[in-house]
Every structure is written in C-alpha cells, then in structure tokens.
Structure 1
Amino acid sequence: MTNIAEETEEPTERSEAFEAKRIEILRKAAIVFADVGFRETSVNYLAESLGVSKPVLYYYAKNKDDLLHQCCLMAHSQLNEAMTPHVGTHLSGFGKLRRFFVTYADIMASDFGRCFVLVDVRALVPETREKEVRARRELEETVQQILVEGQADGSIRRCDPSLTARAMFGAFNGIPRWFHLNGKLDIGEVVDTYLDIFMLGIARS
C-alpha cells in the first residue's frame, strides 16, 4: 500500500488529492457510523470497512471522535444554505419555513446528514459535544425566528416558537431512520406531507 505521506505530487495537486481522499473517507465513515453506531464501531472495524489501514485513517483524523466531528462539520457546511433561507427573497414566514425544511430534509437524506442525525452527540468527548450542541441550537434558533416572522406577517398562526421548532426537528430528524433515496417516495413529497400535517393538522375543522 502506498504511503500517503511519501506521495510526490506538487503542493497544489497534493492538497487537492488529500481533500478528495479525506472527503471520500469521511463519507464512508459517516455511512458506517449511521448504520452501525458510533460507540459500536471500533477503529479496526472502521478501517476494514473503509478499505484502508489504521495509519492511513489516522493520517486524515486524530482519532475516531475527530472523524465523527469532521463528518458533522461536513453536514454543517451543507446546512449553511438551510440556515439562511430568507436571504435575497421576499417569502412569507411560511414560505421561509417550507424552504428551510425542504433543504434540511434533502441534506438529512444524504450520507453526512444521516450521520448528523442518527449518531448521538453524547458519544462525543465533552469539548466536541459542546460545539455540536451549540451548532444544533443555532439551527433551532433559526427556525424559531422564522416562526416569529410568520406570526408577524400572518402566514403562521400563534404558537410557541421554541416548542414548535423542537417538534418540527423531532419529526424531520426521524426521516433518515426510514427514508431511502431509491424508495417509492420522493424526499419532496415527504417534506410536503410533513409540513401539511404541521400547518394544517389532521383533525377535521
């Protein structure tokens, strides 16, 4: 097996190759963590599943905790789009909420998104866990603000923004547990149904 540290490409090429390989390893690790569980996955099993040696694995991450943290950072990067759903638009609060969760659900159905949702952050070491909890809190605050805006413009009825945001995330975070990209349902159809339930309810008026 080639020793990655001894590769002889030019600095730019080496940097690009490193990043491409890092993302490939993170994606595969994210799938294993989501399917098997973080605590249940040993470094030996992870290396074997990814088809690399442990030294190669440690070349791209300090340890298993760092691997998971990097996977979460990939999800955070994708979620930045969802966290600013109102930039450059004139959508109502309801429109912003729909746009947010369409983007959010699409990301949660991806490899990094599934890992982000399905792996318990309590498995992380305290310092990393604190960063993750803070990032997830920012997501909730984003939705709370959208709910407040929607109530102000009349597109969303009066409700407790904090409880409603938590209820919605609770529902949408459950999607990766059963949704399959090659299944009968399209992620857009799932989002529309979920939002209709939240916005319209299921009781007869």
Structure 2
Amino acid sequence: MHGLTKKAEAPPWAPFEDRRRARDEKRDAVLRMAVQMFLDEGYHRTTLNEVAARLNITKPALYNYFRSKEDILIECYRLGQDMFEANIAAIERESGDGLDKLRRLIRAYAQVMMTDFGMCLVRLDDRELSTEARAGVRKAKRTYDAAFRTAIAQGVADGSIAPRDPKLATLVITGSLNWIGQWYRPDGELSAAALADEFALRLTEGLAARKSRSRNAERGAR
C-alpha cells in the first residue's frame, strides 16, 4: 500500500557501546562466580568446566573473557587491590591527625576484607601465580603496609598516637584485619559497616595518646 511507510529494520549488529557493555557484564559474571568458587572450594579444586557449568555456558565460551584459570585469579586479586588502593588514595587526601587517618584506614581495610575480592587476597595462596604476577600482588600488599606505617608515624609525630614502633603496630593491626577474611559472613549479626567501626575503635584503643582518649570520652559523653 502506498499510504503506509515501511517500518525501519533493526540493524543486524548491536551498537558498539551496547556490545561492549554486554561483554563487560558477562566478564564480571565469570569473575563473581569464580571468586565464590575459589573461596568456597579452593583454587585447585575449582575447574573451568565447573565455573562454566555454574554459569550455564560452555568452557570455550569462558575463553572469550580469560585465557586461563590463572588469569581469572590474577584479576580477582587486582579487583581487591584496586579497592584498597582507592581507599588509601582518598584517605591520604583528607585532613586529620595520624590517629584519625589510621582509624579511617582500618575501617576501609576491614570493609574491603568483607568482600569476596578482598577475601581472596588473604584466603588464596599467591604462590599459585606466576613469578611476575606474584611479585605484583606482593608489591601491592607492601603499599597497604606502608599506608598504615605512615599514619602511625604521623600520629606519633603529631601527638595523637602514643610512641610506638610503626612496623610492629602495623603487623598487629593488619594481622587482625586479615583474619576477618577467614570468618566474616554477610548474614552475621552486625553489618559490615558496624564491624568496621568496631575494629577501628578496638585496634586503636592502645595506640591513642591520652589527649586523644580524653577527646573521645568527651564526645561519647555528649
């Protein structure tokens, strides 16, 4: 009929941005499933066949996103590291004395440790990685330690933290925080934020200088 206009046909291929978004979403789904299985069943006991089966895809389809199981593990580590590093960068830009920054670091570290990608940094053995990848993971971990040591040293210098050895104090703090990744469950009585606040308080009680303790007591009395 001459009076009707022909409906435009949809292009045979999705726009580039849509295709890229769909690919990213599928890649993220592979990572989320894999990290859960690595944590629940262990890296060695998890196979790519099992990951693919859980996602209801074929094993060859996984290779569209990752070349190997090690590549998936490397990316899981990287995502955990990125969360830590973003928090460190934000805290370093903020004002406050050393004790304030230390508490923010503890709170941020604890919350990352309650995520799957944070947990993989302490529950999965980086010796499974190639030499180069393992070196990158361990370099990142030294960055976290350095951030804690810097905050403690700043606190000692500005008087908000009692004189302490920054290296030893950092080992005590990070040892406690890393253990969160072993026992935390999201269905527990306290939320991740509440637990992080509690750790920030408890892990600095013995470090805070007297004036800082008095300041906190005054705040609590109001």
Tell me the TM-score range normalised by the shorter chain. Answer: 0.7 to 0.9
| Bigger mean CA offset, 183-192 vs 54-63 | 183-192
Structure 1 residues 113 and 77: alpha-carbon distance in aligned structure 2, compared to 1, 3 A threshold: same
User: CA–CA distance in 1 between the matches of 2:57 and 2:110?
Assistant: 31
User: CA–CA distance in 2 between the matches of 1:176 and 1:186?
Assistant: 15
Q: Which residue of 2 aligns with 1:165?
A: 170
Is the 2:35–2:116 contact (alpha carbons within 8 Å) kept by the matching residues of 1? yes
Q: Which residue of 2 aligns with 1:36?
A: 41
Is the 1:109–1:176 contact (alpha carbons within 8 Å) kept by the matching residues of 2? yes
User: CA–CA distance in 1 between the matches of 2:56 and 2:121?
Assistant: 23
1:11 maps to which of 16, 23, 29: 16
Structure 1 residues 194 and 121: alpha-carbon distance in aligned structure 2, compared to 1, 3 A threshold: same
Q: Which residue of 2 aligns with 1:117?
A: 122
Give runs of aligned pairs for residues 39-188 of structure 1, distance below 5 A: 39-188=44-193
**Once the two structures are superposed, what CA deviation does each residue of 1:46-83 show, in whole Å capped at 9, x if it has no partner?**
32233322111121111011001111111122222221
- 1:85 offset after TM fit, Å? 4.3
Is the 2:107–2:196 contact (alpha carbons within 8 Å) kept by the matching residues of 1? yes
User: CA–CA distance in 2 between the matches of 1:105 and 1:95?
Assistant: 15
Structure 1 residues 85 and 154: alpha-carbon distance in aligned structure 2, compared to 1, 3 A threshold: farther
- 1:27 offset after TM fit, Å? 1.3
| Bigger mean CA offset, 49-58 vs 14-23 | 49-58
Is the 1:85–1:100 contact (alpha carbons within 8 Å) kept by the matching residues of 2? no
When the two structures are aligned, how many residues end up with a matched partner? 195
User: CA–CA distance in 1 between the matches of 2:33 and 2:187?
Assistant: 19
| Unaligned runs of at least 5 residues, structure 1 | 1-6
User: CA–CA distance in 2 between the matches of 1:173 and 1:120?
Assistant: 13
User: CA–CA distance in 2 between the matches of 1:187 and 1:154?
Assistant: 30
Q: Secondary structure at the match of 2:203?
A: helix
Structure whose alpha-carbon radius of gyration is higher: 2
Is the 2:27–2:65 contact (alpha carbons within 8 Å) kept by the matching residues of 1? yes
TM normalised by structure 2 equals 0.80
User: CA–CA distance in 2 between the matches of 1:74 and 1:174?
Assistant: 19
| Unaligned runs of at least 5 residues, structure 2 | 1-11, 207-222
Is the 1:101–1:191 contact (alpha carbons within 8 Å) kept by the matching residues of 2? yes
Counterpart AA for 1:144: R
Q: CA RMSD in A?
A: 1.9
Identity, in percent, stands at: 31
TM normalised by structure 1 equals 0.86
- 1:11 offset after TM fit, Å? 1.8
Is the 2:149–2:166 contact (alpha carbons within 8 Å) kept by the matching residues of 1? yes
**Once the two structures are superposed, what CA deviation does each residue of 1:61-110 show, in whole Å capped at 9, x if it has no partner?**
11011001111111122222221243442211111111112111111111
User: CA–CA distance in 1 between the matches of 2:57 and 2:161?
Assistant: 51
User: CA–CA distance in 2 between the matches of 1:174 and 1:52?
Assistant: 35
